[in-house]
Structure 1
Amino acid sequence: MTQVLSSERTRWRNWAGNQQAEVDVAHPASAEEVAELLTSGRRVRPIGSGHSFTAVGRPDDVQLVADRLTGIHDITDDGLVTVGAGTPLHRLNAELSRRGWAMTNLGDIDRQTIAGALSTGTHGTGARFGGLATQLRGLELVTPAGEILRCDAERNADVFTAGRVGLGALGVLTAVTLQAVSAFALHAVEGPGTLTHALAEFDELMTSTDHVEFYWFPHTDAILLKCNTRVPLDEGIDPLPRWRSVWDDEVLSNVAFAGVIAAGKRVPALVPPLARFSAKALGARAFTDHAHRVFVSRRRVRFLEMEYAVPRADAPAVLAELRRAHEASDWREAFPVEVRVAAADDIPLSTASGRESAYIAAHVPAHTDPGPWFATLEKIAGEVGGRPHWGKLHGLDAAVLRERYPRFEEFVAVRDRLDPTGVLSNEYLDRVLGPARG
């Protein structure tokens, strides 16, 4: 244990800086070392990159860092990829691409570890495509009792079913097996539009190509629309020129946007005109590149985020009400609202469990109070049974979430069986799942 556990306590903070703790840190290099740690009598929380805004990864006692549980272990001829749970997505994507494979869908951030992304229900966009967890085919899980379980649709099937989005509450993931697909490209078409049109033609718009999303700029009717179509790599790629990529994705989307945020914080009255500037700054563009390079965006401006999954059919009404509430207020919101869609799945704690979903995400600068902006999104989404992203800020507890998830008790029963004394629990899990009842 002395080789795994740090000799002095460490100050930990998440990516956004809103979650902090003084912790003992462990860096196990194998499932066996994880088992030793979990049976040591300490309370343990696994952590990936710390990109969650909620306290899902905040430890009460010991923090288990998976940075030695990394790398691709195996790739079969049919694309089953077994990878260490602590592998960051950007490294996984690069290595898969080098070997001629790809993840079939991704979110727009790739700094998370694969275990953290799976455990919190990370998703991308695409009406025919599920979240990251729908690509999972097997997992290696170390239980609080120290048992190393190999789980898939046939072995320990109940644990596999629940553990695909497991919140780190069932055990510690040490390796996962994913279904990759042959490497492919995306043809991206991006440009301006209006929220009025997007709401009027929502379903047609969001199903018009394989992967559609848009960003609405509060204080305006403007959106930035992104439509990505899957194309074979052998048809060739036509990426953005280097200068255009740097100008759009670094200078405008990060450096200039950071200036917009800073100016808006100092002088709130500037936010509406700056929002109109931001809406017009990124012009239309089209390009074709490797899928993971198109799915992922560079995010250097730190923020806090709330995201709710609502039934896809209800998304236009939710967005229209959110716009009405914003127009009736004196709020000064500089960040755009992100809108995406996903297919239904059969995962108990997936935000898309049992229903086609649309995702509506609001942001504020890091180190600021979201105030009534987040509260209003939560209230409006709640009226249609909205489900919060597990890694993004929300105020719900187990009593409410039990009503939002038809299979909530199924998950909790597996948790209570595997962790009856709450070895892996923390304040956040006690709130959203209820205390362990084993």
Structure 2
Amino acid sequence: MAHQFSRGSWSWSNWAASASSRPTDVVLPRSDADVAALLARATAEGRRVKVVGAAHSFTDIAATDGTLVSLDAMQGLEHVEAATGEATLRGGTRLSAVAALLAPHGLALPNMGDIDRQSLAGALATATHGTGLGFTGFPGLVTRMRLALPDGSIVTCSATERPELFQAARVGLGAIAVVLAATLRCVPAFRLRAVEAPEPLEGMVESFVERSAASDHLEFYWFPHTGTALGKTNTRLDADAPLDPIGPLSRLVDDELLGNGAFALMCAAGAKLPAAIPPLNRFAAKTLAARDYTDESHRVFVTARRVRFREMEYSLPLEAFAEVFGELRSAIEGYREPISFPVEVRTSAADDTWMGTSAGRQSVYFAVHRYARQPHQEFLEHVERVFTAHGGRPHWGKLHSRNAGYLAGVYPESGRFTAVRDVIDPTGTLLNPYLRRVLGA
């Protein structure tokens, strides 16, 4: 039986405190039947429903003044197909739990982002991705889905069964259905050798596309107001490759004390005295240490993030990398205030989704951040003009100002998506203001 909490006892905000709402009620369903009954009742009564995962999206994509549904009680591994390596996971499953669920079957996710707090349903809805030109984001791994539709029906879909619904739901933005379960193509478990090292920014920019093609997983961070990039190259190894993990002392000093603790102090100091940010960034860049280690894949992909921030991320065609990065650097260094947070640059293979940020093209991603205690809107809109001038696609779970008119121009299949949405949810049970803005619904 679903648990329900009324307004006054619960309010919602996301991880970054960049979105909040006070739903009329909050429901914690425990079964597919609970979800279906809730949706059928809400649709019949003309009420709005939104599903929330781990609240790691920076936008108000999950905000609602209607019923807020949490899938926290609907987690776990349902089935593994040994012959194909496909694993079916419930929609509320946290990505952080997947490695342990797959390990007994000798399987792993092919790729991951640098945060694993999201739910599977949320990662699919927002097209969450990692880095590597040989690998898609999470929606590209999906082969089958079980969905609860707004009318209360429960259906399955795949590339051959209800294919239009499948295409819409793989990156559904929470506007199509509630993802009860998804089947993902997994791979045999593997380890990663990570090589992290600071290097001159100019050399990284010049070689980035070529090195991305030659590497399994490459990303870099640029510290504004410096000429330094921190590169991270991950190379895939067999599951029995010797382990050489980061030692406890190094993890404490490099990741916790410097990567989080000292960085938090620097950001706080920069917020109070912006003129100190450039020298602080230069100091931070000089203290970056080179590391070379090998560990289980999920331990290398994921990084601890304890300093809160607001983020914008855009996907651009890979071939536009150098031009866009040059304009982005000029925009950041020409902004009226110095910027403390580094820019993150990653890549992704093309996929065949309708609304995925790498749909139909190899992509490069630029993620721009602002410390949570500093105003972010003006700065993000300032750099956003660089991305939109090149037809960039905003990450669905990260801050942006785009609306349906712009987005229809950068997503060739957006008309098919909205047509499916209009049929599946004609009364707008799953809509909220964010979705009305980006879909024009």
**Aligned residue for 2:4?**
5
Task: Determine the C-alpha separation between the residues in 2 that align with 1:247 and 1:110.
Answer: 22
Counterpart contact for 2:271–2:374, Cα < 8 Å: no
Which residue, out of 59, 66, 69, partners 2:64?
59
**Aligned residue for 1:234?**
240
**Aligned residue for 1:318?**
324
Q: Structure 1 vs Structure 2: percent identity of aligned residues?
A: 45
Task: Determine the C-alpha separation between the residues in 1 that align with 2:216 and 2:239.
Answer: 16
Counterpart contact for 1:344–1:357, Cα < 8 Å: yes
Structure 1 unaligned regions, length at least 5: none
Q: Map of 1:355-366 to 2, 5 A cutoff?
A: 355-366=361-372
Letter in structure 2 aligned against 1:34: V
Task: Determine the C-alpha separation between the residues in 2 that align with 1:213 and 1:26.
Answer: 39
Task: Determine the C-alpha separation between the residues in 2 that align with 1:326 and 1:59.
Answer: 34
**Aligned residue for 2:36?**
35
Counterpart contact for 2:335–2:379, Cα < 8 Å: no
Letter in structure 2 aligned against 1:100: G
The Cα shift of 1:207 comes to 2.1
The Cα shift of 1:329 comes to 3.4
Tell me, yes or no, if structure 1 residue 22 matches structure 2 residue 22.
yes
The Cα shift of 1:98 comes to 4.3
Task: Determine the C-alpha separation between the residues in 2 that align with 1:98 and 1:245.
Answer: 27
**Aligned residue for 2:49?**
44
The Cα shift of 1:208 comes to 2.9
1:92-116: CA deviation from partner (whole Å, max 9, x where unpaired): 1222234421000111100000110
The Cα shift of 1:168 comes to 0.8
Q: Map of 1:279-358 to 2, 5 A cutoff?
A: 279-358=285-364
For these two proteins, the number of residue pairs brought into alignment is: 434
Task: Determine the C-alpha separation between the residues in 1 that align with 2:110 and 2:334.
Answer: 41
Letter in structure 2 aligned against 1:39: A
Counterpart contact for 1:106–1:123, Cα < 8 Å: yes
Task: Determine the C-alpha separation between the residues in 2 that align with 1:314 and 1:36.
Answer: 48
1:26-74: CA deviation from partner (whole Å, max 9, x where unpaired): 0111111111111222210000000000111111211010011111111
**Which has the higher mean CA deviation after the structures are superposed, 155-164 or 45-54?**
155-164
TM-score (norm 1): 0.97
Q: Map of 1:181-260 to 2, 5 A cutoff?
A: 181-260=187-266
Counterpart contact for 1:344–1:353, Cα < 8 Å: yes
Task: Determine the C-alpha separation between the residues in 2 that align with 1:93 and 1:109.
Answer: 14
Which residue, out of 82, 88, 112, partners 1:106?
112
Task: Determine the C-alpha separation between the residues in 2 that align with 1:381 and 1:297.
Answer: 26
**Aligned residue for 1:71?**
76
Structure 2 unaligned regions, length at least 5: none
**Counterpart of 1:341 in 2: which secondary structure?**
strand
1:384-431: CA deviation from partner (whole Å, max 9, x where unpaired): 110000000000000010001000101111110100010000000000
**Aligned residue for 2:176?**
170
Counterpart contact for 1:322–1:376, Cα < 8 Å: no
Tell me, yes or no, if structure 1 residue 133 matches structure 2 residue 139.
yes
Tell me, yes or no, if structure 1 residue 421 matches structure 2 residue 427.
yes
Task: Determine the C-alpha separation between the residues in 1 that align with 2:377 and 2:338.
Answer: 11
Task: Determine the C-alpha separation between the residues in 2 that align with 1:308 and 1:224.
Answer: 20
**Aligned residue for 1:397?**
403
Counterpart contact for 1:149–1:156, Cα < 8 Å: no
Counterpart contact for 2:7–2:22, Cα < 8 Å: no
The Cα shift of 1:194 comes to 2.1
**Counterpart of 1:224 in 2: which secondary structure?**
strand
The Cα shift of 1:157 comes to 1.3
1:324-378: CA deviation from partner (whole Å, max 9, x where unpaired): 2233333211100000000111101001111110000100111432244312321
1:153-175: CA deviation from partner (whole Å, max 9, x where unpaired): 22111111111111111110111
Counterpart contact for 1:252–1:282, Cα < 8 Å: no
The Cα shift of 1:135 comes to 0.9
The Cα shift of 1:205 comes to 2.3
**Which has the higher mean CA deviation after the structures are superposed, 390-399 or 175-184?**
175-184
Counterpart contact for 2:331–2:383, Cα < 8 Å: no
Which residue, out of 110, 125, 128, partners 1:122?
128
1:203-234: CA deviation from partner (whole Å, max 9, x where unpaired): 11222310000000000111100000101021
Task: Determine the C-alpha separation between the residues in 2 that align with 1:194 and 1:382.
Answer: 28
**Aligned residue for 2:95?**
89
Q: Which runs of 4+ in 1 moved over 4 A?
A: none
**Which has the higher mean CA deviation after the structures are superposed, 4-13 or 426-435?**
4-13
**Counterpart of 2:113 in 1: which secondary structure?**
coil
**Aligned residue for 1:368?**
374
Task: Determine the C-alpha separation between the residues in 2 that align with 1:309 and 1:122.
Answer: 12
1:239-266: CA deviation from partner (whole Å, max 9, x where unpaired): 1111112211111111111111111111
Counterpart contact for 1:17–1:367, Cα < 8 Å: no
Letter in structure 2 aligned against 1:218: P
**Counterpart of 1:309 in 2: which secondary structure?**
strand
Task: Determine the C-alpha separation between the residues in 1 that align with 2:334 and 2:65.
Answer: 42
**Counterpart of 1:421 in 2: which secondary structure?**
coil
**Aligned residue for 1:433?**
439
